[in-house]
Amino acid sequence: MSSSGVVISGAGLWTPQYSISNEELVDAYNAWAERFNTEHAEAIAAGELVEKPLSSAEFIEKASGIRSRYAYVKDGVLDIDRMRPKIPRRGEEDLSHQAEMALNAANIALDHAHKTAADIDMVIVSCAYTERSYPAIAIEVQHHLGIAGFGFDMLVACSAATFALQRAYDAVAAGSARGVLVINPELTSPQVNYTDRDSHFIFGDVSTAVVVEAETTCQSPHSYQVLGSKAQTVYSNNIRSNFGYVARSEDVDAFCAENLFHQNGRKVFKEVCPMAAEHLQQQVEAVGLAVDDIRRWWLHQANLNMNQLIVRRLLGRDAEPDEAPIVLDRFANTASAGSLIAFCLHHEDLQSGDHGVICSFGAGYSIGSLVLRKR
Ligand code: CO8
């Protein structure tokens, strides 16, 4: 895609007040697993049930780079009689949980962009999951901000943010919207199976938002011209959640293990790293740059080793910490918000003319990227 007068002019990060350390999570999981193994000792001995393996905080940090994660609600997650957050149900007239998370990040992004509701025509709420099917969370957010125009929700797992940014870019480039708010309220904790040793540690809750507009209307002190963007998908069953209404008709527990997040993490690692590196190289070259011209890589945050491998493939060397910032240690994997957290926390130091790339990769498989130049 060719160079344009479309810019990212503001970004917002909202972080929940609660956090859960690896140690807290592992203590709860291990207590749950030990109780399960004791209660089912006979069946396990008879080979009718598989013993639950124990987790380790040391393994989690070494395998993923994650030390802690934020939680929208912490209550319930560490309770071995519950093993899921206890989120109070809100009435239909009240602000929904995800709309609240979205508004928190959207207001920061609007502020950073020096924009108000009157400058926005389109709201996209894009994330790995929305708490209801309709009305769209985006329309609720639009209503509360007092934005004319329209909003819709999009689900593309870990690439939801970058794919939505491409929709925003296209809309502004085509003239169908003057300004677009892309918001990613990633409420991942209700989707996590906290009784699954292999994935109980992966995800955290957070919300990010970005304002996209035309160069001609931009008043922001930190703005980035979008030089190119690309969305790419290749079908894979290696990361899945089967949750949906059909479960009700299939007479299965709507929240059984197969309907929550599960993955073949090793295969994902092996297959996605080369795809992401190739995608990034092609995108940078498509806008007439070389990988060495890129000052900063704001990469998806799923796994530290994954990001190190991708950058090594691209640059032929390890990246300096400020070339490809990592936020996993504090935030864990926040689905589509990861690359935007990295952007929010690590962009203001860039100089005019510096180049950077936002890139996500994950379930689908899906890969999305935007090549940016600081104005
Ligand atoms: N504690 C202790 N030991 C463990 C644990 C644990 N918690 N988990 C695994 N082990 C053990 C295993 O049993 C295994 O032992 P052995 O060698 O004896 O068999 C050993 O450690 C190694 O296990 P793995 O092969 O599973 O471990 P890896 O080193 O591959 O690391 C990772 C596991 C961290 C999962 C790694 O494979 C990874 O990160 N892969 C990339 C996955 C990825 O990027 N996934 C993206 C998913 S997110 C996404 O796409 C968005 C989805 C939508 C969001 C949904 C929100 C909920």
Per-residue pLDDT at 149? 96
Measure Cα distances from 57 to 20, 23, 231, 316 in Å: 12, 6, 35, 31
Per-residue pLDDT at 55? 98
Task: Report yes or no on whether pTM surpasses 0.75.
Answer: yes
Query: Does ligand 1 lie within 6 Å of residue 131's CB atom?
Result: no
Per-residue pLDDT at 294? 97
Residues 6+ apart with CB under 8 A from 271: 236, 238, 365
Atom of ligand 1 nearest to the CA of 272: 44
Q: pLDDT confidence of 2, banded at 50, 70, 90?
A: very low
pLDDT in tens, 332-351: 999 999 999 999 999 999 99
Q: Which two tokens stand for residue 27?
A: 């203590």
Per-residue pLDDT at 1? 39
Per-residue pLDDT at 319? 93
pLDDT in tens, 99-126: 999 999 999 999 999 999 999 999 999 9
Residues 6+ apart with CB under 8 A from 337: 127, 161, 184, 186, 206, 207, 208
Asked if 302 and 333 count as a contact pair (C-beta separation under 8 A), the reply is yes
Query: Does ligand 1 lie within 6 Å of residue 240's CB atom?
Result: no
Per-residue pLDDT at 268? 96
- The DSSP secondary-structure symbol of 300 reads -
Query: Does ligand 1 lie within 6 Å of residue 262's CB atom?
Result: no
Per-residue pLDDT at 183? 98
Active site residue 127: no
The count of C-alpha atoms lying within 13 angstroms of the C-alpha of 150, restricted to the half-sphere facing its C-beta, is 6
Query: Does ligand 1 lie within 6 Å of residue 128's CB atom?
Result: yes
The stretch 240-266 carries a mean pLDDT of 93
Query: What is the pLDDT of the chain when averaged over all its residues?
Result: 96
Total number of residues shown for the chain? 375
Residue 354: what are its φ and ψ, rounded to 5°? -70, 145
Residues 6+ apart with CB under 8 A from 201: 22, 25, 26, 55, 60, 64, 66, 69, 332
The stretch 149-156 carries a mean pLDDT of 98
Asked if 172 and 370 count as a contact pair (C-beta separation under 8 A), the reply is no
Q: Which two tokens stand for residue 143?
A: 């209503």
What does the alpha-carbon distance between residue 299 and residue 327 come to, in Å, rounded to a whole number? Answer: 10
Per-residue pLDDT at 129? 96
Q: Please tell me the distance between residue 126's alpha carbon and the centre of ligand 1 in angstroms.
A: 25
Per-residue pLDDT at 61? 98
Share of the chain above pLDDT 70, in %: 99
Asked if 10 and 112 count as a contact pair (C-beta separation under 8 A), the reply is yes
Residue 33, pLDDT above cutoff 80 = yes
What does the alpha-carbon distance between residue 336 and residue 210 come to, in Å, rounded to a whole number? Answer: 13
Share of the chain above pLDDT 90, in %: 98
Instruction: Select which of 158, 218, 344, 359 is catalytic.
Output: 158
